[in-house]
Amino acid sequence: MPRRFHAADELLPPATFLKRLLAITYDGLISIAVLLVTTWAYTMITGWITGWDRLEQKAEAGQLSGDPGLTFVLFLVMYLFFAYFWTRIGQTLGMQVWRIRIENLDGSNVSWSQALRRYVTAAAVLFTTLLAGYYLSSATLLLSVPVIIALFLPVNGLSLTDKFSNSIVVALPK
């Protein structure tokens, strides 16, 4: 059952780009900690399953870089981290600090599928632009900055992630 944050007829203003950017920065720092702990847990489990000697041999041979299992686990954990907050209270920790929230246009909380669409849209655009910059040139990476900004910059109150997830990021009153 959807949770209503406010009455359907009450309209909250869209969050500004600056507040979004500050919340993303704050959440990015928290994400680094989550990724470090997840990588440590993955390494411990992998070492226990395959054996520490074999894991050490793989590491010395350079066979651990680009581990698709670790990549998948990190992607999944980050989705679960963000989706949990978005679907429960509409706010990650960074969004709580900067007083913004993700919600549906009627004021209800977003679903897990909306959170997945939002997360995959952001990840796809971000990874694509960063990979293009890495493989092509530094100039391409600099040119990709506007693409990344456009991902989160609200136009008419909606960013690219808002449009694909059919939700909106709103500024909360004091």
Q: Within the chain, what is the greatest distance between any pair of CA atoms?
A: 63
pLDDT band at 140 (very low <50, low <70, confident <90, very high): low
pLDDT band at 125 (very low <50, low <70, confident <90, very high): confident
- In this predicted structure, what is the pLDDT of residue 110? 95
Question: b/e per residue, 7-18, with b = 16+ CB within 10 A?
Answer: eeeeebebbeee
Mean pLDDT, residues 66-87 taken together: 93
What angle, 0 to 180 degrees and rounded to 10, lies between the N-to-C axes of helices 68-88 and 112-136? 140
> Tens digit of pLDDT for each residue in 80-124?
999 999 999 999 999 999 999 999 988 889 999 999 999 998 888
- In this predicted structure, what is the pLDDT of residue 9? 66
> Tens digit of pLDDT for each residue in 12-21?
888 888 898 8
